[in-house]
Amino acid sequence: MNLHSDHPHALPSYLDRNDLGPWGDFLQQVDRVTPYLGKLGRWVETLKRPKRTLIVDVPIHLDDGRVAHYEGYRVQHNTSRGPGKGGVRFHQDVTLSEVMALAAWMSIKNAAVNVPYGGAKGGIRVDPKELTAAELERVTRRYTSEIGLIIGPTKDIPAPDVNTNERVMAWMMDTYSMNIGETATGVVTGKPIDLGGSLGRREATGRGVFIVGQEAARRIGLDIAGARVAIQGFGNVGGVTGKLFAEAGARIVAVQDHAGTVYHPGGIDIPALTRHVASTGSVAGFPHAEALPTDQFWDVECDILVPAALERQITEANAGRIRARMVIEGANGPTTPLADDILNERNVLVIPDVIANAGGVTVSYFEWVQDFSSFFWSEEEINERLAKIMRGAFHTIWQVAEDHKVSLRTATFIVACQRILHARDLRGLYP
């Protein structure tokens, strides 16, 4: 597809026109929804460029006294429905195109579950495994100061993503608070409970993946008890997803992370694998399962495949090999548009990221509300409200997919883009 001529107005000059990366995938997804937007279609160009893009230099002292520089980003894709909201990723391969796409998928996701946010995302191009804890803290604090210009509890609220966690959120909250001279717990979500974090946030994304998995399984007549599940990525999202499916009686037949792939047709012992990862840092070397070559992960016989690592893992090169009846996207952007078409043709149901992994931001919304009111809810209450929102959003999207005879991804984009562009239309353009 020649993106240059198909999107003459959509290409910011700061991107490589020959390789738009994940941003190119997002543009194609927007093109697929455009015919369904009716009169709101006149606003669709709004979605094809981020509202605000900040690139920052993050210099720190390494422990040995040298100065190192890292590139950081914060992108606010859209704020028509409310402040920007989305995670912060620390990874050596982070690019601007990637952060733009991740921010855009946040706009869609937040609208799909109807939380009052726009979409944003951030990242630093750094391998956190190469830093000491003190260096990681310095990178986090300097980055937070640099993006402090555009974040804030009513402006844009970061949260955890790949390689960031509660500890990183605590540093971000503290740095922002120091800079403005007052404690602002609502500036980030995914914080430690003792700093205004919410019960259930750590597990929320995996819990949401499991809830939509249950709903979809019921509709295609798949019994979760006994179902075979393969999971790529065993961090926050993949780990919790695996735990909940295993507790519901599913067999987790394969798990892959960056360093290895383990396979057991009878079902991997997930608590034992979790202990192994906590002590060694990877699933590799887990003694109670067979090791598989990396690429064979995609050939594993299973009923449910959960990509829960990075973007562009399911491509035209491996989509034809996938044995699952359904793919539940725990990761953001794991399936390219061409792979989506292949899975569709093969009748593999894809539950798209923009609904499947929305549990995390939904409980982030609960955290933000709790911080503003300084009144904290029980975990039971949080999980009940999460399940209600996830099930309600899933039903709406399923219905739209049936009505328009489109994929669940396009259906989610129809619902979300209509909400975003309706808000844009109501607000108008001029101050």
Ligand X SMILES: O=C(O)CCC(=O)C(=O)O
Q: Does 274 bind ligand NDP (CB under 6 A)?
A: no
Tell me which of 62, 133, 149, 259 binds ligand NDP, using CB under 6 A: 259
Contacts of 298 by beta carbon, 8 Å cutoff, 6+ apart:
314, 318, 321, 322
Which of 49, 62, 51, 57 minimizes the C-alpha distance to 15? 49
Q: Is 48 annotated as a binding residue?
A: no
Tell me which of 50, 118, 158, 233 binds ligand NDP, using CB under 6 A: 233
Residue 262 binds what, of ligand NDP, ligand X, none (CB under 5 to 8 Å, by partner type)? none
What distance in Å separates the CA atoms of residue 328 and residue 213, rounded to the nearest whole number? 7
Q: Does 205 bind ligand NDP (CB under 6 A)?
A: yes
Count residues binding ligand NDP (CB under 6 A).
25
What distance in Å separates the CA atoms of residue 122 and residue 210, rounded to the nearest whole number? 26
Cβ–Cβ < 8 Å for 242, 270: yes
Give yes or no: 121 in active site.
yes
Q: Does 200 bind ligand NDP (CB under 6 A)?
A: no
Q: Is 85 annotated as a binding residue?
A: yes
Tell me which of 25, 135, 137, 161 binds ligand NDP, using CB under 6 A: 161
DSSP code of residue 43:
G
- The one catalytic residue in 39, 48, 51, 121 is 121
DSSP code of residue 425:
H
Q: Does 197 bind ligand NDP (CB under 6 A)?
A: no
Q: Is 205 annotated as a binding residue?
A: yes
Least Å distance between CB 154 and ligand X? 15
- The closest residue (CB) to ligand NDP is 235
Residue 235 binds what, of ligand X, ligand NDP, none (CB under 5 to 8 Å, by partner type)? ligand NDP
What distance in Å separates the CA atoms of residue 75 and residue 106, rounded to the nearest whole number? 11
Backbone dihedral angles phi then psi of residue 78, each to the nearest 5 degrees = -155, 140
What distance in Å separates the CA atoms of residue 138 and residue 394, rounded to the nearest whole number? 41
Tell me which of 80, 107, 163, 335 binds ligand NDP, using CB under 6 A: 163
Tell me which of 53, 114, 198, 232 binds ligand NDP, using CB under 6 A: 232
Using CB atoms within 10 A of its CB, is residue 346 exposed (0-12), middle (13-18) or buried (19+)?
exposed
Amino acid at 349: L
Q: Does 238 bind ligand X (CB under 6 A)?
A: no
**Which residues carry out catalysis?**
121
| Interface positions with ligand X (CB under 6 A) | 85-87, 109, 159, 161, 189-190, 332, 357, 360-361, 364
